[in-house]
Amino acid sequence: MIRHYKLSLKGHSTFDFWATVWSHGWCELKPFSVDPEAKTLQRVLELPNRKLTKLVMKGTGNKVEVSIETDTKLFNKDLMYVERKVRYMLSMDLDLSQLYRCVKTKKEFSWIAKHKAGRLLKSPTVFEDLVKTICTTNCKWEQTKRMVQRLCELLGKKTWEGDSSFPRPSRIANSSIEFLRLAGLGYRANYIHDIAIKVAENKIKLERWVNPKLPLDEIRKMIESIKGIGAYGSANMLRLLGRTDNLYIEPWMIKTFSAKRNADKPATKADIERYYSVFGQWKGLILWLDMITNQV
């Protein structure tokens, strides 16, 4: 028997559902899926008590309606868990009013406030985001999508319809590296297996990284201490953790900045750092948003 539940959630006044869903490619990585026509975001979410739920999220303004399907009874604590995770994934309670005031006076960046950009869709756990980040290294996006999908199919828990959840750290830890390579992870299998073991054995506590009070250098060191995570992976994780002050400049950004902001004259990292440093705590986020969009 399939049971249905609903949640009606309200976010901060600066929140926009669809802008968050399409903030980057995470909405295309299983167990997320997106329907552009219906403007819904779906995913399978496994609860701490192993219950499986299928979430369909649809937003209007700063409100989100969550339809929940499950093959078991949910209690208040289950629904509270779902609400916490939806709010976390969509950063619904994040106040970006200061960012929007910061860019409104800058014509070339006013679109950020206009389109309520700045939130990034996250996975419900830091572990899932970390694994997915490793799956984006040294490969094309289609390969990343295949790796993540296969990982869910091989080790995720199946719903009544055959969809898969993202595997818990213990499921990955209890598998072999050879088995993980069946997902097409290649050399990444070693890194992901190592992380899963350490998380499952409570040797590393990834959720500590969410703490906004941790100094940037301290959290960066913790992230880069993970095997398989370098400067790129660290920058991606810091963005997902809401560290907007991290100004990481990738090689492709220099070329993009030169064409977009420097009249096609070759720029240096120092030039880029100076250009965005005026935005203070938002400099890293504004740099990234500027580099990935075609806004002028």
pTM of the entire structure?
0.96
**DSSP code per residue over 103-143:** HHT-GGGHHHHHTT-------SSHHHHHHHHHTTTTS-HHH
Distances in Å between the alpha carbon of 162 and those of 153, 156, 166?
A: 9, 10, 13
Nearest residue to 158 (alpha-carbon basis) of 81, 250, 15, 46: 46
Instruction: Give the pLDDT of residue 270.
Output: 97
What is the chain's Cα-based Rg? Answer: 20
For 60, phi then psi, to 5°, come to -135, 120
pLDDT of residue 61: 86
Tell me what pLDDT residue 295 has. 65
pLDDT tens, N- to C-terminus, the chain (296 residues)? 999 999 999 999 999 999 999 999 999 999 999 999 999 999 999 999 999 999 999 999 899 999 999 999 999 999 999 999 999 999 999 999 999 999 988 999 999 999 999 999 999 999 999 999 999 999 999 999 999 999 999 999 999 999 999 999 999 999 999 999 988 999 999 999 999 999 999 999 999 999 999 999 999 999 999 999 999 999 999 999 999 999 999 999 999 999 999 999 999 999 999 999 999 999 999 999 999 998 65
Please name the residue that has the structure tokens 């208040």: 76
Find out whether 255 and 214 touch, Cβ atoms under 8 Å.
no
Residue 265 CA to residue 288 CA, distance in Å, equals 20
The full set of domains in the chain, from first to last, is 3-98 (3.30.310), 126-229 (1.10.340.30), 251-292 (no CATH)
The per-type count for the chain, helices as H runs and strands as E runs, is 14, 5
Q: What is the pLDDT of residue 182?
A: 87
The predicted pLDDT at position 175 comes to 96
CB-hemisphere CA count at 13 Å for 134? 26
